[in-house]
Amino acid sequence: MIIGTLVSLPRKRLAATLVALVGCAWAGLAVFAAPLPASTWVALPPLPQQGERAIFAVGVNPFNSQIVVAGTAEGSLYRSADGGSTWKLADTAPSGFLTAAFSSLKVGLVLAGTRASGAFVSRDGGLTWAAAKGLEGRSVRVFGFALTLVAAGTDHGVYVSADGLAWRQSGLPNTSIGALAVAAIHDPVRLVAGSDTVSAVGGTPLYQSTDGGATWAQLRATISGKVVSYLAAGPLPPASNVRPLMVGTNAGLFTSRDNGASFTPNSGGGLLPSTDYTQVAFMTTHYDRYYTASDGGGSASGGLWKTLDAGRHFASLAPPVASVTALAVSNEEAPILYVATFRPADHVAVLWAYHDTGGTPQGPPASATPSTSGTRTTTPGATQTSLISQLLTSSRTPYILVGLAAMVVIVMAVVAHFRGRRG
C-alpha cells in the first residue's frame, strides 16, 4: 500500500517524499554508525575550549541516552545528540559549571548550576536555555526532582521551584549545601540535604525536611565523616514505602533503609575503600543496583564501582583514570555511563563513555591519548561482540530498524516508479 501511494504521487511530491524517507533512513542508520563496544572504556572527543580544569557537570537524558550535556569550569555549556561524538555550544556563563541534571519525571527539563552565577534551565532537552530567576549570584551545586517541585542546593541553603524557572529560598540560608536528595517524590515531599562545611553544633551536617522544604531539622546520623559530599535516593524496594538513602561523606559511603534512623556502612571492612564519595547513581528502576564514584579526595583511592545486590558486594569498573569528577548514567537495563576524570599531575580532564553490559571492564587502546582522542575506538584484544549481537542488544535497535525499513521502502518505490513509467 505504501509503495502504491508513492508511485501514484506527482513527480515533485514523490521526490520530496523520497528525500524525507532518505533522511529518516540516514538518521536511523547513523545512530548505529559507531556503536559503543561492550564493557569497554571509550575516550570521547574533548569539549571545545575545554581548558585544563576538572569537569564537574555532566548529565544524560533519561529518555534518550544519546543526548548529553556537559559544562566546563571556564563557563561553557555544551550539548551532544550523538552520545558525545560531537558537541555544540548551548550557552555560556560568567563562571564555571558545577552540575547538570535531567529530570526523569518531566520530559525535556534539564538544569545546570554554576559557581556564583546562578543556574540555567532548559525545557526542550538542552536545545535552548534561559537564566533561572531567583538564583542570581548563587553557587548552585546540586538538583533534586519531585513530582510537584524541583530543589537546588546552593552556597546559601536550599531553594525550591515549581517549574525550574522561578526559585525561592526554602531553608538553611546560612548553610552551604553541596548534597541533596529527594527521599519522597509525592506530597508531602521529603528532602535530605548535606553540607560541605563542618556543622557548628557537631555531628554530620545532614538535614531533612518532611514538608517540601518549609521546615528543616538536623538528622542525627550515626555515620563517620565531618562533611557530606553526596546524597542519593533510590527507587522503592518491593513491598516498601521507604526509598534507600545513600550518603557519601569525606570518610565513606553509607546506606539507610529507614528514613535515616540507622545507617549501614558500605565502605571499609573489605567493601569499598574509606574515601570521599562524590557520586551515586541508581540503575533504572532497581533499588539494589547502583554506581558510586570517587575523586579520591586528593588521594589515589578514587574510582568507580557498581553493586547488583544493594551494597553487599561491589565490583570495580576500572576507569582509565582513578579520579572521577562527574558521572551520569542512562536509564536502560544495560546503561551507558558518561564519566569525567581528571589527572592532577598534568591537568588532563577526559570524558569517557562506557556501555555496561555486565562483562569484564576493558581499558581503552594503549595508543589512544585522552587529550586528543576524537574517535570511538575498541581495545585491541578485547572480546568483541558480533554485529548481529550488538544489533539485538543495543538500545538503538528501534532507530536502526526504522532506518532499514525506510531504506527498503525507498528502493521498492523507486523500482515501482520506473516500472510504471515504462508501462
Segment 293-347, tens digit of pLDDT: 999 987 778 999 999 999 999 999 999 999 999 999 999 999 999 999 999 889 9
CB neighbour list of residue 414: distance below 8 Å, 6 or more residues apart: 18
Q: What is the pLDDT of residue 300?
A: 79
List Cβ neighbours of 5 (8 Å cut-off, separation of 6 or more): none
CATH number, domain containing residue 44: 2.130.10.10
- Name, in order, each residue with C-beta under 8 angstroms of 244's C-beta and a sequence gap of 6 or more: 233, 234, 237, 255, 256, 257, 287, 310
Which among 179, 106, 115, 108 has a CA at the least distance from the CA of 142? 179
The pLDDT value given to residue 416: 52
Does 124 reside within a domain? yes
Contacts of 317 (CB under 8 A, 6+ apart): 291, 303, 304, 305, 306, 337, 354, 356, 361
Q: Residue 186 is placed in which grid cell?
A: 509525592
For 408, the 3-state DSSP assignment is helix
| Same-domain check for residues 339 and 287 | yes
Q: How many domains does the chain have?
A: 2
Asked if residue 119 belongs to a domain, the reply is yes
Can you spell out the DSSP letters for 331-399?
SSSSPEEEEEEEETTTTEEEEEEEE--SS--BPPPTT--TTT--S----TTSPPPPHHHHHHH-TTHHH
| Cell 550539548 belongs to residue | 79
Query: Is residue 75 within 8 Å of residue 97, measured between CB atoms?
Result: yes
Backbone φ, ψ for residue 87 (5° rounding): -130, 145
The residues that bridge with 343 in the sheet, in sequence order, are: 348
| Within-domain flag for 408 | yes
Say if 276 falls within a structural domain: yes
Q: Do 257 and 372 have their domain in common? A: yes
For residue 398, tell me if it sits in a domain.
no
Q: Which residues of the chain are under the pLDDT cut of 50?
A: 1-9, 12-33, 367, 369, 371-375, 377-404, 406-411, 414-415, 417-418, 421-422
Residue the block writes with cell 526542550: 124
Q: Are 134 and 168 in contact (CB under 8 A)?
A: yes
Phi, psi of 391, deg, nearest 5: -65, -40
Q: Are residues 403 and 396 in contact, defined by beta-carbon separation less than 8 angstroms?
A: no
CA atoms within a 13 Å half-sphere pointing along the CA-CB vector of 51: 12
Q: Count other Cβ atoms within 10 Å, centred on residue 62.
A: 18
How far is 295 from 284, CA to CA, in rounded Å? 24
Q: Are residues 338 and 208 in the same domain?
A: yes
Residues 154 and 105 in one domain: yes
* 316 in any annotated domain: yes
8 and 143: one domain? no
DSSP 8-state secondary structure symbol assigned to residue 250: T
Order the strands of the 130-131 sheet from edge to edge. 97-102, 110-114, 119-122, 130-131
- Same domain for 107 and 17, yes or no, is no
Residue 395 counted as domain residue: no
CB 164 within 8 A of CB 112: no
For residue 46, what are the contacts with CB-CB under 8 A and spacing of at least 6? Answer: 350, 351, 371, 372, 374
412 and 377 share a domain?
no
What distance in Å separates the CA atoms of residue 50 and residue 54, rounded to the nearest whole number?
9
Three-state SS at 49: coil
Instruction: Residue 94: give the domain boundaries.
Output: 36-386
Which residues share a beta bridge with 101? 111
DSSP summary character for residue 297? G
pTM of the model: 0.81
393 in any annotated domain: no
Digit-coded pLDDT (tens) for 383-402: 333 333 444 444 444 444 44
Cα distance between the two ends of the chain: 19
Query: 57 with 112, same domain?
Result: yes
Quick one: pLDDT at residue 366? Answer: 63
